[in-house]
């Protein structure tokens, strides 16, 4: 046959889902086939099945998009909506007190994923998107998640080139390592103009019995008078959430902690 035999059908289906991204939420069949590296007829067949089930939807423009059914199933992810449900009230409290941006993120492999965000209208604009990914080495939540990640994860992040976002972004592995130690020591992270030159964020860990599973942060204007004064606030929120996680039980068991695998 033509393209590499040895690919499972499942992997092809997943490759089709992988083709979608925040930048490309709508794709034609040809684009899908190209991105998933599948022959057109194959893509056609698999996509038809996905549409029939509701994993994909076909718009009136002929393009395919992620379907509501997949969103429904995805909403069952304990580290997604589950965590969000738990955290939202505390995030709202934090917003009420500060009227600044509040963010919640978890680590997935070597990046972070934003689970929820409360964007204050009067606050600094932030460019994050719920469901979006970002590097671990720059943001407040990223530094927290990295600081408490398994050594192996830290080493892999430190080994790779660290992207620079502003002139202040720490891209030196040695300096970053020192910052991570500092984060562990004080129990919170401050990221000053590491991503944009107008913002600064303060983040704290959220712990479950097995370790740090998420991070919460405030994003404020970089020239705010007393950023450090916010740290206890964010830390308190983190501790409340940690307690909630510790006692939280699903009907059929606890929120999972870290997946046993690392992608790729």
Interacting residue ranges for DNA, rule: CB under 7 A: 1-3, 5-10, 12, 28-30, 38-42, 44-46, 62
Whether the Cβ atoms of residue 83 and residue 115 lie closer than 8 Å to each other: yes
Among residues 69, 99, 177, 239, the one that binds a copy of itself under rule CB under 8 A:
69
Half-sphere exposure of 53 (CA within 13 A, CB side): 13
HEC per residue, 120-145: CCCCCCCCCCCCCEEECCCCHHHHHH
What's the CA angle centered on 29, arms 26 and 32, to 5 degrees?
A: 70
State how far the Cα of 35 lies from the Cα of 16, in Å rounded to an integer: 8
Least distance (Å) between residue 148 CB and DNA: 27
State how far the Cα of 130 lies from the Cα of 143, in Å rounded to an integer: 18
> Which of a copy of itself, DNA, none does 82 bind, CB closer than 5 to 8 A by kind?
a copy of itself
Between 10 and 151, name the residue whose CB sits nearer to DNA: 10
According to DSSP, residue 21 is labeled B
- Greatest Cα-to-Cα distance within the chain, rounded to the nearest angstrom: 66
Among residues 67, 173, 187, 227, the one that binds a copy of itself under rule CB under 8 A:
67
Structure tokens at 190: 């401050």
Among residues 39, 131, 211, 246, the one that binds a copy of itself under rule CB under 8 A:
131
State how far the Cα of 41 lies from the Cα of 38, in Å rounded to an integer: 8
Among residues 181, 210, 221, 243, the one that binds a copy of itself under rule CB under 8 A:
210
Helix, strand or coil, per DSSP, at residue 207? strand
Per-residue contact string for residues 161-200; x = within reach of a copy of itself by CB under 8 A: ----------------------------------------
> Which of DNA, a copy of itself, none does 30 bind, CB closer than 5 to 8 A by kind?
DNA
Does residue 247 touch a copy of itself according to CB under 8 A? no
Residue that the structure tokens 């034609």 belong to: 28
Least distance (Å) between residue 12 CB and DNA: 5
Least distance (Å) between residue 27 CB and a copy of itself: 7
State how far the Cα of 6 lies from the Cα of 76, in Å rounded to an integer: 32
Using CB under 8 A, which residues numbered 18 to 57 contact a copy of itself? 18, 20-27, 46, 49-55, 57
Q: Which residues bind a copy of itself (CB under 8 A)?
A: 8-11, 13-14, 17-18, 20-27, 46, 49-55, 57-61, 63, 65-82, 85, 106, 108, 113, 129-131, 133, 210, 250-257, 259-261, 263
């Amino acid at each position: 046959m033509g393209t590499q035999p040895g690919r499972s059908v499942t992997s092809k289906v997943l490759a089709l889902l992988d083709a979608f991204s925040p930048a490309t939420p709508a794709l034609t069949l040809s684009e899908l086939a190209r991105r998933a590296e599948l022959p057109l007829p194959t893509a056609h067949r698999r996509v038809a099945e996905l549409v029939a089930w509701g994993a994909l939807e076909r718009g009136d423009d002929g393009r395919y998009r992620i379907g509501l059914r997949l969103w429904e199933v995805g909403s069952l992810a304990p580290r997604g909506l589950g965590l969000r449900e738990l955290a939202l009230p505390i995030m709202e409290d934090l917003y009420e007190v500060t009227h600044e941006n509040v963010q919640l993120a978890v680590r997935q492999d070597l990046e972070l994923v934003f689970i929820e965000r409360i964007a204050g209208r009067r606050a600094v604009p932030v460019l994050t998107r719920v469901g979006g990914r970002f590097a671990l080495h720059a943001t407040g939540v990223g530094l927290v998640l990295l600081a408490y990640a398994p050594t192996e994860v830290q080493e892999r992040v430190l080994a790779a080139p660290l992207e620079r976002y502003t002139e202040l972004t720490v891209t030196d592995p040695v300096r970053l390592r020192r910052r991570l130690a500092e984060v562990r020591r004080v129990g919170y992270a401050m990221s000053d103009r590491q991503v944009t030159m107008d913002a600064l964020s303060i983040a704290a860990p959220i712990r479950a019995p097995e370790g740090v599973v998420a991070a919460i942060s405030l994003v404020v204007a970089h020239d705010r008078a007393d950023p450090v004064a916010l740290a206890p606030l964010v830390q308190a929120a983190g501790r409340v959430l940690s307690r909630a996680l510790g006692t939280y039980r699903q009907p059929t068991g606890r929120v999972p902690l870290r997946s046993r695998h690392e992608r790729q």
